[in-house]
Structures are given as structure tokens and as C-alpha cells.
Chains A and B, each alone.
Chain A
Amino acid sequence: MATEQRKYSLDEIRAYKKRSLAAEVWRNYKKSPSAMVGLFVVLLLIIVAIIAQFTFDYSKDIVQQNVRNRLQPPSANHPFGTDQYGRDIFIRVLYGAKYSLSVGIVSVAISCAVGSTLGLIAGYFGGAVENLILRFCEIFMGIPSVLLGIAIMAAFGQSLWVLMLATGLVYVPMFARTARAAVLPVRDQEYIEAAHVCGLNDFQIIFGHVLPNSMAPIIVQVTMGVANGILTASHLSFLGLGVPVPAPEWGAMLSSGREFIRDYPYLTFFPGLAIMITVLAFNLVGDGLRDALDPRLKQ
């Protein structure tokens, strides 16, 4: 290697443009077809949720009963058929995307923010702090998630926001443990020691070095968490504890269609399919992101 001793001017350096991390990740992400399918479905769901919000009238299209039309099989007029009150299941499933997506995303935002911070602190500082946080998490994890959700719903009442909070709190320990496990190998790397020598404080080290390097499992957990959140919210709604009844939440639709499952399976089939596709799509995105985020795979 020839040693260059010449100092480059700033303009010369600017010529070598920095490729941003996001662009790099996107380049890798694109390579995986399944991840792209997942992303496409997720984006489609978001668009559908937004459009459905404006094109359908809640009181007229979504909840108004039309008993003469009840329990119609799928047809051109009603692609997914109608339920026991004569409401179009197709429209209700489309409209319901908004509940599932918002519950999934907001609840994960809550559990990720709280859980990852706890996990980072536990992993970075170790010792008594770590012990305290981990034991706390174990106590929480000892309670079945649906039971915990029910307890929170019972305490705060039944609404969309409480559903988000309940689902979010249920997954805090999972995020804390994931984050801590991701921090452990990073904490002992020499570049953390180097950062100490450079004069960085703990806060700068945690958010400047530890977090970016332990991000991959957390991001994967986020996308999987959205899927889990949607499932848990559906569980709670299925039990009648989620979004109040006439709203077309997928879990609630499953619940109300349950009585008719023998003769009119499409009442439960389509909301169930919607949940499955959404969960699968988020999981595919999570898998793709995990691979794309590993800097060692870059070429």
C-alpha cells in the first residue's frame, strides 16, 4: 500500500459522496423477493386503511344493519358475503385494517420505547440495575399476556387507546430482554472502550455506539411485535375486551362470526385471513430487515 501524505481539501473530499445507511439498507433489502412482497402488502394495507377511512361512511356502510341481506354467501355484490346483520364483510374487513394497523403500530411504539430503553440500560450498566430490570421483566412475563391485557382493560375501561396501551405494556418485557441480549456482545467490543478513551459520556456511548450496533434484533422484534400486537389485540377483541362492539375490528368480527362457523364459515374466514396476511407480511418485512441491516453482508 502506498502511503499518501497529501492532505485532501474539503472540496475534494466532498466529491466522494457518503452513501447513507438507509440507502445501503434499502439496496440490500431489495434483493430479497419475499421481503419485497411483505413490504408491498404492508404498504397496500396502509393505503387501504387510509382510503377506506374516507370512502366509506361509518354509520351507513359499516354498522348499519340490513336484515333482509343477512348471511348472504360471497357474490359479485358482496365479495366476502354478508354477516348476520346483513353488513358487507368485504367493506368491514377493509375498514377494519385501520384498527389492526394502528393498534399494532402504536402498541409496538410503546413497548419498543419503554422496553428497549430498559434493556439498553440493563445490558450496558450490568450489575444491580440489570438484575432489578430483568427480575421485573420476569415477573411481568410470568403473567399470561392475555390475562395481563384483560387486567389492564378492566382497570382503564374499554377503548381503542386502552387497547393500544394494554397490548403495548404486555410486550415491554420482550423488548427489554431482546435489547439486553443484543447489547451484551456489543458492550465488550473494543470500540466501546475506544469511545471511553475518546471522552464520550455514557449517554453518548449508549445512543451513539451501543444502540446502532444492537439495532438489528430490535428492529426485527419491532416488525414481529406489530404482528404480535395485532394478534393480541384480536385476542382481546375476540374476548369482547377490545374495541367496542359494532366497530369492525378483525378480532371482534371473528368473535361475532363464531356462532355461525358451521354453516357460514366465510364470516370468520375472511377476517381471519386478513389477520393472517397482515401478520405474515410484517414477519416477512422483519426477516428482510434483519438481513439488510447486517453491515457484514454489504458488498
Chain B
Amino acid sequence: MSPLDISPQRGDAGDGIGGRPPRIDGLAKIRGEAAYAMDQPVEGLAHAVLVTATIAAGWVRGIDRTAAEAAPGVLLVLTPGNTPPLHAASTWTGEAPPTSEYRPLEPEIRHVGQQIALVVAESLEQATEAATLLRVDYEAAPFLADFTVPDAGEGQDLPPLTIERGDADTALASADIRISAEYGTPREYNVPIEPHGLTARWDGDALTLWEPSQWLDGMARNYAEWFGIGFEQVRLISPYIGGGFGSKALALPHGAIAAQAARMLGRPVKLVLTRPQTFTAFGGRAATRQLLELGADADGHLLAIRHRGWQETSRNGLWVEPLNAATALMYEVPHLSSRQRVVPVNTVTPSAKRAPGENPSAFALECAMDELAYALGQDPLALRLRNEPGRDPHSGKLWSSRRMREAYAAGADSFGWARRNPTPGAMRDGPLRLGWGMAAGTYPVRRSAGEAMVRILADGGVEVASSTSDMGTGAYTILAQTAASVFGLPLARVRVTLGDSTLPRAPVSGGSQMAGLMTGAVDKAARAAREELIGLALNDPRSPLRGVANTLAVAEGRLIAPRGEAPPLPIAELLTAIGRDRVEALRDTLAENGLKPEDRYRAFTTVSTMRAPTDGEYSMHSWCAHFVELAVDEALGSVRLRRIVTAFDAGLLYNPRLAESQIKGGIVMGIGQALLEGGIVDRRHARVLNNNLADYLLPTHADIPPIEVISVGEPDPHASALGGKGVGELGIVGLAAAIANAVFHATGKRVRDLPITLADLC
């Protein structure tokens, strides 16, 4: 079940931090033995199916449950009319709820797909059929289908995102060269292949949840508050997560109603969203629009950027996708004006999808830089180098590290950028026009506190435990490597247990922060355990090393006297000698993050103590440069990628093999964003029509070209304990712009609304 007993091959750079060992959870995954939440065998399970609204706004006047309740095997039918309220929970940012009650089934409808009933039956087949038998009486109300409909208006200003640096309007007016363009991104969905779902079981007042989770502590807190029980009474178990990309960090309404049903029934209940329901039960990336004006002098020095952004949110929730996240950061610009507005419409509240903010921000900015390069008659890469900022132009702080020039150089060199003919349409391969495009990306270093237990066992092996989770990031492996480094052990001697809310605390695995902060926590705990071990070896009366040496080192599972005063002593022998079965240390990194012990609960169960990238002396970010070659069939408009080279600076890579995989994964998702993905809204009904995997197009194998990724990072001691910066989100940032720029280079057509399809290019 857990990857504890796996012996991976030794990596080519060793098993410690910076080595390339294969995933230690890999064997369980390739054997089909890794038990994801929905794979857990639970005795006495009942199966639930969610019923969702088919109107966009209005009220459920009533639901006739008669036929459903009479259907074979049906155990319970929950509707707004027969479901007791829960307690309202505080938000993930730590704010108190505005109301005292939370109703997971509400009569008021605010979007298509909102959950309105739950049917529980003995079998999944029975629940599925019975769910079709409910008769819902609606009272429909007017709605706003999306932010393009005239009635949606301009929305509300978001003052915290306003930036006024210098005088952008005046600077633009006097600029030699100006470009102005509007860029759009559609609703994009996370679409992990594992659908959201859970099994909930009550034992008295204790609630056990098997649910995929990017944030066990945060979700456990939310469930505890909903049900008015203690945090310790909730146990959330999520050893493996079938992808999340931001969508599995929060407790969601379907979780509330499933747990509610389990409590009412006195039986464990399993609810898995259908694939179509995954498009409306939680939000993906908000649709966005950005108006960008860039002004430069004739040499290509940026003088001013004027940026206006609009994004969707829901009628009953505010999600902010910060559209100037990259705009304010990437280039040396004396004058910047940025405003953002948020437009409420009848949709599910949007949420985090890989690189919220940076992703759409970089799409617009990096396309605009390409447009400016053409307006100037300059090479797009040269234009970027000309405007490379020496320090963070927004905060004024020095970069902790910004190896952007190195990334440009390494990427351009490997790609062969110097051979590019800049004239659109000039590079050809038979009937195909080739496009070479590039763009840059960035993602901030976010920091929270972490906590880990490291335990030295009597057999000399080491255990690491934390409630953090591994959704494919490689957490199991890099945390094992961290401990292996401290003890000089082969990876096979390190066991890692994650994904259980009863383990030591961890904050959200989001914002690309997990690896940096959890390796720090494990390193700290491991060093503490090592110190205690050495102390015992030096001081315990039964220790063979007592009085032999003044200091000891630990390597290869042994205690070593530095001047050879005694033969190396295996840890196991020491523990036997001193009569201990373990030496363990539980450590957190609250203090390093400026927190106190009383901040502990808040630090791990909300994001209220997460530190900004400029909190401290430096401005800290990861960086990347993408280079893309594609071919466009001029007559038919089809775009096929040929190769991608991405050079990136994410500081030290704890395990380059796994980090490279994640960067490539971000690139693949960026390919989908650029060419395939987007929610298609029928505005007559405010309904996303392509709510399935045949119509919402994810990239397939055939869409993906060879991808080369090059790390140019060096350890950044300011960014994290071991010198790494964020990896998980970086690869997607700027990729869509590189593709759009390559499409322009191939065709001379500037497509500013994603995705770029046949209809745009034929």
C-alpha cells in the first residue's frame, strides 16, 4: 500500500539530495498496487451519485423523491428540503465565515451543475439509475452566461492589484514605438485523470475520509468545522493523488454532502464525481482578458506598460487570478499602470489551475513582447535581453537569483535560435510553414512552515513522516533523499510515509512550495535526530563510543570517529547497545518563517502565514525560457509541434530526474492550453458544453514533440533551506505565448485568443 519497502536502483548521482534516483513510489504505481482514495476497500460501503442543477440561476422549488426512493437498492435521497445544515467553515485564507450555517444542498441555484441532490444506494449502478428518477421543479431566474455578454458589464475593480509606477500614459504617448493588443484565455480546467471523490466513514464522532488531497491539514480543518468536531477527530487519508494541478487542495461541496450522507446513514459512503460533473463541481482557471500597451524607444528599451485585465468569477464567490503577476516583474520598465477587474457571472467559482496569475499574465506579456519585437524590427530574444532587469522593478529588491540570461543562452544555443529567419512565413519544409517562437516565464518562491518526523530505527534504517502529499511531484522520493543525505544512507534504507492527516503537519502542496519547505523540515528533523544519536553515542554509558571520541560523524549508516579513534559503528549496533529501539525528532520550521508555536494550527490549516516572494531581503522567483518549433499546414490551418527546448532556473534541483519530468509536464499542459483547451459556453444556458474528455481536448501522445529541458539553476540559499526554488508550475508559464509567437512566425497571423485552432488559421 505504501511505498515503504521499495528498493530503487541507485541513481547516477547518488541517493542524496541532487541525485537522480527513480521514484520510490514507482514500484507500487507500475504494479497497480498504489491505493488511491477511491481504491480503498471499506467494509459496508454504500454508493452515492450527485444530482446537479440544469439551470443557471433561480430556485429549486421542490424535488419529487418518490420514484427515486422506490427504486431498487436506494438507501437515502438528500435534497435541499431534507438535509440539515452544517456549520460554516472559515476560509482557506483563514477568514471567519460570513454566516453561521453551511448548506451543501441549497435551493438557490447560481450555476449549471450546482449540486442539488444526492442519491445513495447499495450499488453504484442502482444509485446512478435512481439519480435519473428525481423530478426537480425549478423557478428559473435571469443569469449572466459569461463575461462577454453585455449585461455582465465591466465588473468590479480589484484595488489590491492596482499598480501605478511612474506615469505610464505620458510615457506611452512619447514612446517611439507602441503596440496595443488584447489577449484572451478561456475557462480552462484542471482535469486530473483521477476524478474528484471520496469515501467518508463515521465511527461515533470521528470522521475518516479517503479523499485525494493536496492539503490534508487544510481539508481536515474544513471538515472538522463543517461537522462541529475537533480537528483531531478528522482523519484524512490520501497516500496517492491521481493529479490535482491546484484542484484538490480544498474541501468541496461534494465532500460535505457525502460525509453528511454517511453520518445520516450510519454507513460509509463513496461518492465519485462523473467526468462531466468535474467541470462544474469546482472551478478551473477563470476566463481572462488583458489589454496591453507597450511603449519603447527606438533601440527597444521598454518605457511603459499599460495593462488592464478582466477575469470571471462567480456570483457567490471571489476568485482572483492576478493578471499582472508576470507583467510587473519580467522587464525593466520605468512606467507601469496596471488595473484589474473581476466580473461575476453564473459559473462555479473559478479556482487554482497550475500557475494561477503568472500563466495568463505571461501569455499576454510574452505575446506583446513578440509583437513589440516585430514592431521594432528586432529579434525577440534580443529585445528581452535588452530589458533584463537587474533587480525586481516592482519591489525594488535584489533578486535572490535570476539566471534568466543563462536560460536564454542555454535554450537559444540548444535550439539553434541564431539560425532563425525572422520574416514570418520564410522558413518552410515542403508545403509546411515552420514557426520558431520563444517566450519567458516565471513563478514566485512561496514559503510556509512545514513539519516532519524523522525516526532512526533499530535496524539502522530511517523513517520520515509528514502529512504532506505526493501528487506526482516526487515528494516521497526527494524527502527520502533528504534524509539519506543527512545519514549517508542508501535510499533503500529510508521509508517515507505521507498523506495522512494524523502525521506531522504540512501546509498546502500548491504554489510550488512543497519541495522547498518540506525538504527543509525533513532536513531539520533529520539533523536533530542525528545530533541526538551522536549525543547518545558520546554520552550513553552503554555506548561503545563513549569516551572514545569527542565528536562523531554519521555516514553510510554508521557512526564514524573523525580521527579513526574507533572503528565505524553501525547505527543499529549502537541502538542495540544502548537499549533503544529508535531515536526520533519532530521538528517544524515555524521559527524560520517568523512564526510562533501558537501560530501552529493556523500555519498548517490556512494559507494566512504563507510568505510572499518579496517577504525578506530579496525578491525570489524561478525563471524559464521556452523555444518552440512548429509546422503549420498553410492551406488547412493545422498546427503540429516539432520540438521544444526549455531552459530554466529553479535553483538546486533536489532530484533532477523528477524535476525535469515536472517541467515537461507543465510544458505539455501548456501545449494543451495553447492549441486545444477551453470551455465552450452555450450562452443561452450558461452551460459548458464540452464537459468531457472527447470534447474538452487534452493533448494526446501524438500532440507532443520531443522536449528538451535544461537546468541552469544554482542553489539559491535565500529561497529555501536546501537551495531549491519552485518547479511544479514554472514549466507552463509562457509556453502558450511561445507557441502563439511561433504561429505568428510561421503564418504572419497573430492569434491572441486561446486556444489557437483550425478555425483561426485556415
Q: Answer yes or no: are A and B bound together in one complex.
A: no
- Interface residues of A, Cβ cutoff 8 Å to B: none
